[in-house]
Amino acid sequence: MVCCATTFYFSINLAGRILFQLIVAGSGVVARAFVQAYRQALTNASKSGVAQETIQNSIRKAGMTEKEARLILGVSDGSSFEEILKKYNALFENNHKNGSFYIQSKVQRAKELLEKVYQENGQGKSG
């Protein structure tokens, strides 16, 4: 009886190991196929311009407002573009030295947005 129980346990244990190995191997194949399909989709999207459009739409949706950009840089509606650049340079350098990449990127986006606003208005705002 002990012999049969040991054989039965061994066969169940072996079957469990084989099943586990099949699951691991299968999930690896599925993961590789998913990554390959995703890369191909990105390649196709970038060729058709869909990726660029998606990026631009997400930036517009999650983008900052002019008011937020002015708050980040600490400038008013009547500030000249030179004043904006002065504030930008000071904030960017301060955050570069202290290593705050997040704040540095917010400062960069604020400057870019205000630069676009000033270009659209013919850089006519001055204080």
pLDDT digits (tens, 9 = 90+) for 68-101: 999 999 999 888 999 999 999 988 888 876 667 8
Q: Which residue has the tokens 């002019």?
A: 66
Please state the φ and ψ torsions of residue 125, each to the nearest 5 degrees.
-80, 130
Dihedral sign for Cα 88, 91, 97, 102, please.
negative
Instruction: Indicate the average pLDDT of the chain.
Output: 78
Written as six digits, the tokens of 64 are 């900052």
State how far the Cα of 103 lies from the Cα of 73, in Å rounded to an integer. Answer: 11
Q: Is this prediction's pTM over 0.85?
A: no
Cβ neighbours, 10 Å, residue 63: 12
Per-residue pLDDT at 124 exceeds 60: no
Q: Where are the domains of the chain?
A: 2-60, 65-120
- 66 neighbors 116 (Cβ within 8 angstroms): no
CATH code, 65-120: 1.10.287
Element at 11 (helix H, strand E) = helix 2-48
- Average confidence (pLDDT) over 36-60: 68
State how far the Cα of 56 lies from the Cα of 74, in Å rounded to an integer. Answer: 26
Dihedral sign for Cα 34, 37, 43, 49, please.
negative
